[in-house]
Structure 1
Amino acid sequence: MSVDHEIRRPPRLPEGGAAPGERPSGLSRRGVLVWLIPALWTCALGLWGLSRQNSVWRDEAATWQVARRSTAEIWQMLGNVDVVHGCYYLLMHALFEWFGPGTTTLRLPSVLAMGVAAACVAVVGHRLAGTWAGLAGGMAFGLVPAVQFYLQEGRPYALVAAGAGVSTLLLVTALERRARWPRWAAYGLTVLVMGLLNWLSLLILPAHAATLLRSRPRQGTWMRWAVASVAATAGVLPLVLFSRSQSGQVSWIPPLTWHMLIGPAVLLAIGGLGALLDRPRPGRLSVAAVGLPLLAVPQLGLAGLSLVQPLFLDRYVLFSMLGLALLIGAAVGAAVRAVRPRCPRASVWVLPVVLAVAVVALLPQSLEKRSPESRVDDVLAVAADVRRMKEDGDAVLFVPAARRDTASVSPDAFTGLRDIALAESPENSGTLKGIEADPARVRAAMLAQRRILLVTDAARVARPVTAARDRVKYAVLEEHFTVAADEQVRGRRVTVYERRAPVAGRP
């Protein structure tokens, strides 16, 4: 049955969009189009402005520099820092080895992963609420502002969203049909991979448990789901326990406040409206039973965890946006059903009109998220300034030491510069920023220089200096050097300092 056939003969179709007694088939032409169009749409949104004017910000720079290390160096680093992203780093290392480093290699996996997630949303919506709900949900997913941000991000959150889509589709399939152990094994394996990419993604399990509660599954379903879930959790548990020793990495996340919950509350309100408009077929699983827990439970679960340790960042539960997209799709499907009896031809235009309005309304945000200014900083832009401003024999300093990521991502720009504070490189030390010498040695090394380039944060994003060696760096520069050039670009700053002429009676 084609989409055109469904549109020409709407009175003969029930609300769900399938003929009486017919289950929507993923192998039919309609079923293929329902997931293929949203997947292509989402990938097109991801490819639009993919390089962001050849910019890479600090989070992506971490991926870039680790991916360029050897496997042995990555393993060494994971024992000290960022073990939660270990699997992702190893994946990106392989991709950088095969295709070479670059913004396309860095971000294309996220684009493709979001395309998979959109396809899963569309298939689930199609099965539970009909063609238009599936199409609308899949198309809406790519337009969600948070999805557009991480659609072009060289970090693991889009891959987690793809895993959430696949696992939710497997769950829905298992609830609709008498699934055997191989399907549940696939479900458990998918959740395991999600957890290894980011163990907070295990919050999808209580969301799926809520779906099971609302669906009244067949006998034995709870047992199979529990076994698959426990197995996946057990596989992730060593990572969870080991990562606790590196919890200092998230110490910068602020404590949960009421204003931080405004955004999630708005999303829940939108999702709740979609759930109210959902009209499931009798005896069938509903979009609300799948989408609302998927949206709400991870958000509420992360808020609860943040009361113990601050962790409330939207990217950790980005996969909950699949639930929002499902519920938006249900609302659009309800609108199509409402218009169809009186204006069959007009009902065809409901989704295109809604989509066009959404695209226009979100266009300013879409453009902003594809600009370098959408991120805190740009390590590549400042590297270009270093290349232009340096001279032979110059030294370089980084404040804080984490700004050394510029040199790690663009080593050619720093050729000929001596990193006078560095005692052990990031690669040799198994860290992201290297190990610097003690303040006294840094001071002595600085006083032996004629010119020093300082790479730091731009004034608008700079944080107060707290580390002892960084205070020494600024004190020596202020007392013994003068500013010869100063450039600020996209959240980073390069300042050239030249040694003052010695004053009589002073060293």
Structure 2
Amino acid sequence: MTFALAHPTSSTGSPPVSPPERGFTGTATLLGVFGFLVSFAGLWQPSYWGDEAASVLSAERSLPSLFPMWGHVDAVHGMYYLFLHAWIDMFGASELATRLPSALAIGLATAGTATLARMVVVRSGFGTRIAVIAALVFATLPRVTYMGAEARSTALATAIAVWLTVLLLHILQVSLGPDSTPRQRRRAWIGYAVLLAAGIYMFLYLVLLLPAHAVAVWLSGPHREDGLHRLGAWLRSVGVALALALPVLVYGLAQHDQISFLAHRKQADLATAMVGQWFGSALSALVAWLLIGSAILWVFRRPRLDPRLDPRLRARPHAPERRTLLVLLTWLIVPSAVLLVGTRLIAPMYSERYLSFCTPAVAIVIAIGIVALRVRWLQVCTLLLLIALMIPTFLAQRTEFAKDGGSDWRQAASVVGAGAKPGEAVVFDESTRPSRRPRLAMRLYPQDFRGLDDVTLAHPFSDTAGLWDTTVPLASVTDRLAATHTVWVLENVGSVESLRGTDVHDLESIGFTEAASTTIQRTTIIEMTR
């Protein structure tokens, strides 16, 4: 097997390395369709949850309301919200409609993973096999199937990350070849800068991909001087990208308090990150990490190529396959290490979802580990075993209450919609954090609350600079219920169990009594009448 990071120039005297055959485009496309279908399957099943509520509500704002919001909150998601705004205008705000772009992005990323694997493994026998295995593993990774069914930007950012890497390798292998002109090289680096800037606007943490790209550029030249020259050109392109992305970088740093909630969560350690970050379950993580270890041992224990056969190796001590694996391991490890160490030493910044863009590298290294098993039937059985171990996680992700440990807003809204009549009132529990408040059921499924009087609303979210509605305590506006005979109360289960809930107590104090109560998952719907 031969790996390559650069297109050898004729001056080295070595034979040229062919880029992926054009015939592989059809294979990559079919794999992309497979990746889309896996993520698309059942994505409409789970109810929305808090992060998706932020996406949908922000995207449903008018543009005059959306732009000022970025100056106060969620500037790092501004590009995605703008995209989703246009998407919702065309296709609506159902779970199927808003999650569909993520599934499409996973299809694109699956094709990109296959293409990238085929570019770095250039001998067709093993190259095509590794590319196909990598795409199949990528499409079925629990982290991928999760982000492929969520109305957030991580799937789009992952697609940008993998195709940005494909573009970089194309530049290193082709655009910097002896037959290219200075104009072609400038245009290639400008294209890289623009796509990198777009990726940062889509997901700020995509800057953590740059160390892997730096390693790829440094190891790409046949001589050390070539590596330095290419690294300088790459750094200039990165500088242009960062300049283009300066607004989101500045606002992102200014709004860093947005991720302060991570401080209130249990801090991840290395063991939990190795399982939950990409693989979903301990058993599938064990098999995956064994395969990653197999890839490392297989590549680094292989004998080095003879410098007399490949003059490039006189200036580069690592064989081509080792360079490739170094790049993939940098992509796989460095972003995670930065966030884990930064969380420990600086401030909370780690979340498993933030490392979603590393999944293409994870899949390719696992594919190399599978092919390292040599025996074809053993490779097939190992691939099928890994996929089988990940299926239970996929099925759990497609249940009604799969999001955020049991989000049930759609089901709660349907209970209200089935029983409430226009002119009646609705009251929402405000005792939990905004992204978990039952009030979001009304915002995400408004058809079930049509005609009801939201008595505690002070300002709708679209009239504020924040993400959510502002409200007043029920006790201060009970006079608004003077002519109301029925009130629907949506309470968190914990709030109802604790002193019957403040809202329930306030309503009972002015003559309302409980007529019916329904508990879904973590929301209780109480019908109260005079």
Give the TM interval when normalised to the shorter protein: 0.7 to 0.9
Asked if structure 1 preserves the Cα contact closer than 8 Å seen for 2:40 and 2:103, the reply is yes
The answer to whether the 8 Å contact 1:215/1:289 transfers is: no
SS of structure 1 residue aligned to 2:245: helix
State the match for 2:327 in structure 1. Answer: 290
8 Å contact kept, 1:274–1:327: yes
Deviations 1:386-412 (A, max 9, x none): 112323432112222643222222222
From the superposition, tell whether residues 56 and 188 of structure 1 become closer, same or farther in structure 2 (CA, over 3 Å): same
The 8 Å contact of residues 219 and 227 in structure 2, kept in 1 or not, is answered as no
Report SS of the residue matched to 1:397. Answer: strand
- Contact preservation (8 Å) 1:278, 1:331: no
- Asked if the contact 2:110/2:138 (under 8 Å) is kept, the reply is yes
User: Which residue of 82, 96, 104 maps to 2:74?
Assistant: 82
Distance in 2 (CA, whole Å) between partners of 1:278 and 1:44 is 33
Q: Match for residue 7 of structure 2?
A: none
Q: Secondary structure at the match of 1:26?
A: coil
2:447 is aligned to 412
Partner of 2:198: 193
Q: Secondary structure at the match of 1:50?
A: coil
SS of the residue aligned with 1:254? helix
1:28 corresponds, among 19, 22, 30, to 22
Indicate whether 1:113 and 2:151 are aligned.
no
- 1:3 matched residue in structure 2: none
Which residue matches 1:125? 117
Instruction: Give the deviation of 1:361 after TM superposition.
Output: 2.1
Aligned to 2:244: 235
Partner of 2:215: 210
Counterpart in 1 of 2:460?
A: 425
Separation (CA, whole Å) in 1 of partners of 2:244 and 2:497: 41
**Which amino acid is the alignment partner of residue 524 of structure 2?**
R
Query: What is the aligned counterpart of 2:189 among 154, 178, 184?
Result: 184
- 1:159 is aligned, of 145, 156, 159, to 156
Q: When the two structures are superposed, what TM-score results if normalisation uses the length of structure 2? A: 0.79
* Counterpart in the other structure of 1:366: 394
Q: CA deviation at 1:92?
A: 0.8
1:243 aligned partner, one-letter code: G
1:302 counterpart = 2:339: yes
Which residue in the other structure is 2:381 paired with?
Answer: 353
Aligned pairs for 1:269-284 within 5 A: 269-270=289-290, 271-278=292-299, 282=305, 284=320
Secondary structure class of the residue paired with 1:495: strand
Residue 48 of structure 1: how far off its partner (Å): 1.3
Bigger drift between 107-116 and 475-484 goes to 475-484
1:209–1:477 distance in 2 versus 1, CA, 3 Å: farther
Q: Which moved more, 1:475-484 or 1:408-417?
A: 475-484
> Residue 256 of structure 1 contacts residue 303 of structure 1 at CA under 8 Å; is this kept in 2?
no
Contact 1:108 1:152 (8 Å CA) reproduced: yes
Structure 1 residues 201 and 256: alpha-carbon distance in aligned structure 2, compared to 1, 3 A threshold:
farther
Percent identity for Structure 1 against Structure 2: 25
CA contact (8 A) 2:218 2:230 kept: no
Mapped contact 2:134–2:366 kept (Cα < 8 A): yes
| Residues 376-395 of structure 1 aligned to structure 2 (within 5 Å) | 376=404, 377-395=407-425
- Structure 1 residue identity aligned to 2:458: A
Question: 2-side partners of 1:256 and 1:457: how far apart?
Answer: 20
Q: Do the aligned partners of 1:291 and 1:327 also contact (CA within 8 Å) in 2?
A: yes
Is 1:476 matched with 2:506? yes
Structure 1 residues 100, 255: CA separation in 2 closer, same or farther (over 3 Å shift)? Answer: closer
Could you list the runs of 5+ residues in structure 1 that have no partner in the other structure?
Answer: 1-13, 340-346, 500-507
Q: 1:40 aligns with which of 3, 28, 33?
A: 33
Distance 1:263 1:21, change over 3 A: farther
Secondary structure at the aligned position of 2:262 is classed as coil
Q: 1:303 to 1:256 in 2, by over 3 A?
A: farther
Deviation readout 1:308-331 (Å, 9 max, x if unpaired): 221211111210112111101111
* Counterpart Cα distance in 2 of 1:482 and 1:44: 49
Could you list the per-position Cα deviations for residues 229-263 of structure 1 after superposition, in whole angstroms to 9, with x for gaps in the alignment?
Answer: 12222333322322344444323213686653313
Q: 1:255 to 1:438 in 2, by over 3 A?
A: closer
Aligned residues: 466
SS of 2:347's equivalent? Answer: coil
Q: What amino acid does structure 2 have at the position aligned with 1:63?
A: S
C-alpha displacement of 1:89:
0.9
Q: What is the distance in 2 between the residues matched to 1:234 and 1:298?
A: 22
CA distance, structure 1, for counterparts of residue 452 and residue 22 of structure 2: 62
CA contact (8 A) 1:294 1:322 kept: no
